[in-house]
Structure 1
Amino acid sequence: MSGLSIRTITLSHFRSHQAARLELDGRPVAIFGPNGAGKTNILEAVSLLSPGRGLRRAATEDLARKPESLGWKVVANVRGLGGGHELETWAEPGEPRQVRIDGKTATQASLGRVLRILWIVPAMDRLWIEAAEGRRRFLDRLTLSFAPDHAELSLTYEKAMRDRNRLLKDQVVDPHWYAVLEAQMAETGRQITVNRRLALARIAQAGARDSAFPSATLTLTYPDGAGERADTLAALAEGRRRDLAAGRTLIGPHRADLAAVYAAKGVPADQCSTGEQKALLISLILASARALAEDLGQPPILLLDEVAAHLDVTRRAALYDEICGLGAQAIMTGTEADLFDSLGQRGQSYAITEVNGRSATSPCKEI
């Protein structure tokens, strides 16, 4: 199966890369070099070819190379949904991020209709033991791959909620001020929850396959059951007094959490070992990729930052086998080339070096 893929990507004044160009052929890609050389910066540039703030959630101005601060640009030729496309995203100093698709101005949300991109970064290693916010973001990234409208729904919901929270903080009690905002929150919130549940159902179906990585049982939860009511509009109205006291909205999809259980052992993810938690995370990404491959006819692009370093030789080989079996373009980073030995000729490789704060990339003939 041939998946969605980056064919060429050019970085200009992006992070540590003053200028970089990678030419890819659709196979998995291994990027290796010392810590601080600029490997993750390439993955971050690719992640910006999808809706949102990228894998680091960085502010637009922080993406520009220092000390020049001239702004930054990422241009990619891709094999996307519907064929080949040219994607551009950039920001001038002091200006918001811009997007063009095939030379025409577009929204960030439109990127999700061209490519589907999933990622794992080291910060996710603590996903199951830290606050619910990170798990919500992880879930919404997965959900966005199945439902491209999810980003726009989330933005609409969050804007309405911010406006409602402003009224709450100002101690406004007149119900007429809340009516339109709560109606918008109820409708978009309902669809957000529907999208999340559909994504979890597809991942559960795809996660039941043979794999070297453990499957997880996933559940969407809310504190005190908040957000589960079918009559969300009525619940928001009834909860105004409590929300006024708190100065914020206490029910809705923004309060959701993702619970995971190591299925074979029946152990909650937050009680598993560090290695088991990492394996569960990889399993969810692979299950999502399998489900998307079935739904779209081609798997998504996978960005796996330093993922191989936390796996033993057998698990690394199994990961590469599953990626290649999917036909997915996975762009992976590591400090040493030998982390990718078992990928062999099934993949491409690039070496990255850094001198005086400037990264340089060079293709390698063999991994």
Structure 2
Amino acid sequence: MYLKTLHLRQFRNYQEQKVEFSAAKTILVGNNAQGKSNLLEAVELLATLRSHRMARDRDLVKEGEVISQINATLERQTGVSELTLTLRRNGRRSVAINGESVRRQMDFLGVLNAVQFSSLDLDLVRGGPEGRRNWLDTLLIQLEPVYAYILQQYNQVLRQRNAFLKRHVETLHATSLHSEQLAVWDAQLATTGTRVIRRRDRAIQRLAPIATAWHASISGSTEVLQIKYTPSIPLEQNNPEEVQQAFLEKIQQRAVAELHQGTTLVGPHRDEVELTINQTPARQYGSQGQQRTLVLALKLAELQLIEEVVKEPPLLLLDDVLAELDPSRQNQLLDAIQDRFQTLITTTHLSSFDSQWLNSSQILFVKAGEISPK
């Protein structure tokens, strides 16, 4: 797939900016806080309808404006698509494909595929489980767009069940541990949660061997990476009925603690993706360099898995990440890309790139929300 044009209107610090991409690799050069990352964020939004910066829509609309729009022309083997995402400061976002409004947002997902790799991703190893869950969910949305709807259903049930627990803590204690009404929420949580768990588990089973192979390649086979999905529900069987039953049993076990805390303690919102190197948890293991090797392996595995599933190479968005990698890891990454993936790279200076890369790349300069060619 190839992103031909991107048109930003009143998005972040851009008033009106159109970019035509003329090479497989585009390097965006500029000082910090000029808008380089904002441009990559716009592409990420078109791919996943999510921003890894976790901003609300109102934060994406330019200061003083009420509406923002991202337009893109994308070329795929199946033809050319025009994508439009409209964001509102005080209202719901809307999406369109080829000028036709799309009612269900999951029908918009999967048209453009992209893998984002930013310096924030280094927290995948060092940070808490929530970051790893978000990373896995974002990948799954691209592999299987219906997952966005499944996750939304689960989160809705979770919010309602938590609200019920908070409201009725005292009355539930006074009557019985599980009222009939709570049992209804339990059943819905188990049903929607099972769908999330099974898909996450399946995705990790596909991703893990690819990431392990990349990691061996980058580390010179001196270290062994293992990735394991560990849900809060025992997952001996992947049969949905058995997982649901295990889910309900676990809820019963935690009933007293849930009532005491007034919140849901069982479900995919508490799951973990375990990353281990040589059988030691990666966050406790070795240097920052080794942790960066791990994240690089994960990102290269994402690219490969998406390409295998959608049958076309996704876009690669590299946000100021070369500065975080030593020359050896930079070369591993740049060699893996070559011209296989259309790549947008942000950097503060061009010294990270050799002359071959510079000669084969489109170079754009970004300053105060304006983009100009070399």
The aligned amino acid for 2:24 is R
Distance in structure 1 (CA, Å) of the matches to 2:260 and 2:67: 43
Q: Deviations over 1:285-338 (max 9, x none)?
A: 10121122222221222221111111233332321121126x112211110022
Distance in structure 1 (CA, Å) of the matches to 2:73 and 2:181: 47
Percentage identity across paired residues of the two chains: 29
Where does residue 328 of structure 1 map in the other structure?
A: 341
Distance in structure 1 (CA, Å) of the matches to 2:258 and 2:294: 36
Where does residue 69 of structure 1 map in the other structure?
A: 65
Distance in structure 1 (CA, Å) of the matches to 2:133 and 2:5: 32
Q: CA deviation at 1:125?
A: 2.0
Q: CA deviation at 1:82?
A: 3.8
Q: Which runs of 5+ in 2 are unaligned?
A: 173-177, 236-242
Where does residue 269 of structure 1 map in the other structure?
A: 282
Where does residue 213 of structure 1 map in the other structure?
A: 218
Where does residue 278 of structure 1 map in the other structure?
A: 292
The aligned amino acid for 2:233 is G
Where does residue 191 of structure 1 map in the other structure?
A: 195
Could you tell me the TM-score, scaled by structure 1's length?
0.88
Q: Deviations over 1:264-299 (max 9, x none)?
A: x44421023112212211111101211222222212
Where does residue 95 of structure 1 map in the other structure?
A: 91
Q: Deviations over 1:241-286 (max 9, x none)?
A: 3312111110111101111123xx4442102311221221111110
Q: CA deviation at 1:187?
A: 2.0
How many residue pairs are counted as aligned between the two chains?
350
Q: RMSD over aligned Cα, in angstroms?
A: 2.2
Where does residue 306 of structure 1 map in the other structure?
A: 320
Conservation of the 8 A alpha-carbon contact between 2:166 and 2:263: yes
Distance in structure 2 (CA, Å) of the matches to 1:310 and 1:195: 32
Conservation of the 8 A alpha-carbon contact between 1:82 and 1:114: no
Structure 1 stretch 229-238 or stretch 310-319: which is displaced more?
229-238
Structure 1 stretch 231-240 or stretch 329-338: which is displaced more?
231-240
Where does residue 9 of structure 1 map in the other structure?
A: 6
1:227 pairs with 204, 209, 233, which one? 233
Q: Deviations over 1:126-162 (max 9, x none)?
A: 2222221111111211222222222111110010011
Distance in structure 1 (CA, Å) of the matches to 2:359 and 2:105: 35
Distance in structure 1 (CA, Å) of the matches to 2:352 and 2:160: 49
The aligned amino acid for 1:308 is L
Where does residue 141 of structure 2 map in the other structure?
A: 144
- Alpha carbons of structure 1 residues 141 and 210: separation in structure 2 relative to 1, 3 Å: closer
Q: CA deviation at 1:94?
A: 1.2
Conservation of the 8 A alpha-carbon contact between 1:6 and 1:26: no
Where does residue 238 of structure 2 map in the other structure?
A: none
- Alpha carbons of structure 1 residues 207 and 135: separation in structure 2 relative to 1, 3 Å: closer
Conservation of the 8 A alpha-carbon contact between 2:125 and 2:295: no
Distance in structure 1 (CA, Å) of the matches to 2:279 and 2:35: 40
- Alpha carbons of structure 1 residues 210 and 35: separation in structure 2 relative to 1, 3 Å: closer
Q: Deviations over 1:37-62 (max 9, x none)?
A: 11001011111103343121111111
- Alpha carbons of structure 1 residues 26 and 116: separation in structure 2 relative to 1, 3 Å: farther
**Secondary structure at 1:127's aligned position in 2?**
helix
Conservation of the 8 A alpha-carbon contact between 1:17 and 1:360: yes
- Alpha carbons of structure 1 residues 303 and 90: separation in structure 2 relative to 1, 3 Å: same
Distance in structure 2 (CA, Å) of the matches to 1:180 and 1:83: 46
Where does residue 258 of structure 1 map in the other structure?
A: 273
Query: Equivalent residues in 2 for 1:174-189 (5 A)?
Result: 175-189=179-193
Q: Which runs of 5+ in 1 are unaligned?
A: none
The aligned amino acid for 1:205 is P
Query: Equivalent residues in 2 for 1:17-56 (5 A)?
Result: 17-25=14-22, 27-56=24-53
Could you tell me the TM-score, scaled by structure 2's length?
0.86
Where does residue 370 of structure 2 map in the other structure?
A: 360
- Alpha carbons of structure 1 residues 180 and 340: separation in structure 2 relative to 1, 3 Å: farther
